[in-house]
Every structure is written in structure tokens, then in C-alpha cells.
Structure 1
């Protein structure tokens, strides 16, 4: 299958989305501090968006004749992001999210979009550009938030 690199990338991206979905739930549940109410709601908005976007990624894999990964073991194996492993403090959480989002943006820009472009797969390019834009907005918002820490 000559689109296997693209399918593999989308499955890696899907895996990262599920790692982020769980990580954001953890942050949502365990956040403490002065900004609890604000961050608790923001993390819920983020994980809700990640869930919907993961579905879009999986459906795109199916549309290009691939099979989306669908087990946590495979997600952990294929993800390039790490799970949240500790009860991080507010500043550590926001810094980690910025790093994770920037890594995902870089992978989309340097791998995913070029793979889709090689295949002249404009719908996948469109999906990836949309996801990149959402991630860039999160980075901008988190940087703006951290300016007041």
C-alpha cells in the first residue's frame, strides 16, 4: 500500500491524541491552586476537543483504506508523547502541555502534511492543517496564561 507512511503517521497522531485525552483528564481531576476553577474548565474543554478530533483522525484512516489503532496498548506503543506520571503543579502542567502541543505541531508540519501532500490527499492535508491550527491556538493561550504566573 503506497499510502502506508501516511496511515502510520495518522495512527501515531491518533495515539498522541489518546495520550493527551487521558493526560488532560488527569490534569482536570487533579489540578489544585488559585486557578483551579479556570484550569479545571479549560482542561475539560481541551479533552472534549481531543476526543472529537481523535474520531476525525480515525475516520480519515478508514477513508484512506487503513485501520485505525483502537487499543490503549497500541496507543502507548505508537505515541511520541509521554503519559502524565506525577501530580504536577500548575506551572509544570501548563509547561508540559505547551511542550506536547509544540511537538505535535512539529510532527504534523514536518511529517503528516508532507506525506499527505505526496499523495495529493487534500482532505488529509485539510484535516492536519485544521488540527495544527487548534494546537497552535492552545499554545498561544497557554503562553498568555503563563505570562501572569
Structure 2
């Protein structure tokens, strides 16, 4: 299949999104500290956005004749984003999310765009551009938060 590399990339992105979805839920449930209310709400916004994003990516994989991954074991195997394993403190959570979103951005820019361009797959590139914009917004917000350390 000619678009196998693009499908593989999109499945990796999907895997990263699922790891982020679980991670954001964990942070939403366990965040503590003086910014609890704001962060609790922010993490809920983020996991709802990721839920929508991963559905879009899975559907795009199907549209280009691929098969989206659909098990946690496969997501964990293919993901480049690491799941949360500790009860991180507020600053650690924000640093980790900043790094995670930066990683997603870099992979979309460095790999995803090139693969979509090679296939002249404008709908996939459009999806990736949309994701990039929203992830860049979260990086901006997280950077602004982290400026007050």
C-alpha cells in the first residue's frame, strides 16, 4: 500500500492522543494546590479536545484505507508520549504537558506534513494543520503559566 507510512504516522499520532487523553484525565482527577480550580477545568477542556482530535485522526485513517489501532497495548507500544506514572506536583504536571505538546507539534511538523505532501493528501495535511494550531495554543498557555515559576 503506497500510503502505509502515512497510516503508520497517523496511528502513532492516534496512540499519542490516547496516552494524552488518559494522562489528562489523571491530572484532572489528581491535581492539587492553589490553582486547583483553574487547572481542573483546563485539564477537562484539554481531554475533551483530545477526545475529538483522536476521533478525527481515526476516521482519517479509515478514509485513506487504513485501520486505526484500537487497543491500549498497541497505543502504548506505538506512542512516543510517555504515560503518567507518578503523582506529579502542579509544576511537574505543567512541565510534562508542555513537553508532550511540543513533541506532538514537532512530530506533526517534521514527519506528518512531509508524508501528507508526498501523497498530495491535502485533507490529511489540513487535519494536521488544525491539530498543530490547537496544540500550539496549549503550548502558549502552558508557557505563560510556567513563566511564573
Structures share fold, TM-score greater than 0.5 = yes
Aligned to 1:52: 52
Counting only pairs closer than 5 Å after superposition, residues 72-87 of structure 1 correspond to structure 2 as 72-87=72-87
Aligned to 2:23: 23
Aligned to 2:41: 41
User: What are the superposed Cα offsets for residues 9-51 of structure 1, whole Å, 9 maximum, x if unpaired?
Assistant: 0000000000000000000000000000000000000000000
Aligned to 1:116: 116
Runs of 4 or more, structure 1, over 2 Å off, are none
| Structure 1 unaligned regions, length at least 5 | none
Aligned to 2:10: 10
The 1-side partners of 2:33 and 2:142 are apart by 16
The 1-side partners of 2:113 and 2:131 are apart by 11
The 2-side partners of 1:129 and 1:52 are apart by 15
User: 1:114 Cα deviation (Å)?
Assistant: 0.4
SS in 2 for 1:148: coil
The 1-side partners of 2:140 and 2:94 are apart by 12
The 1-side partners of 2:111 and 2:59 are apart by 19
For the pair 1:70 / 2:79, whether they are aligned, the reply is no
User: What are the superposed Cα offsets for residues 69-102 of structure 1, whole Å, 9 maximum, x if unpaired?
Assistant: 0000100000001000100000000000000100
The 2-side partners of 1:144 and 1:81 are apart by 22
SS in 2 for 1:83: coil
TM-score (norm 2): 0.99
User: 1:146 Cα deviation (Å)?
Assistant: 1.6
TM-score (norm 1): 0.99
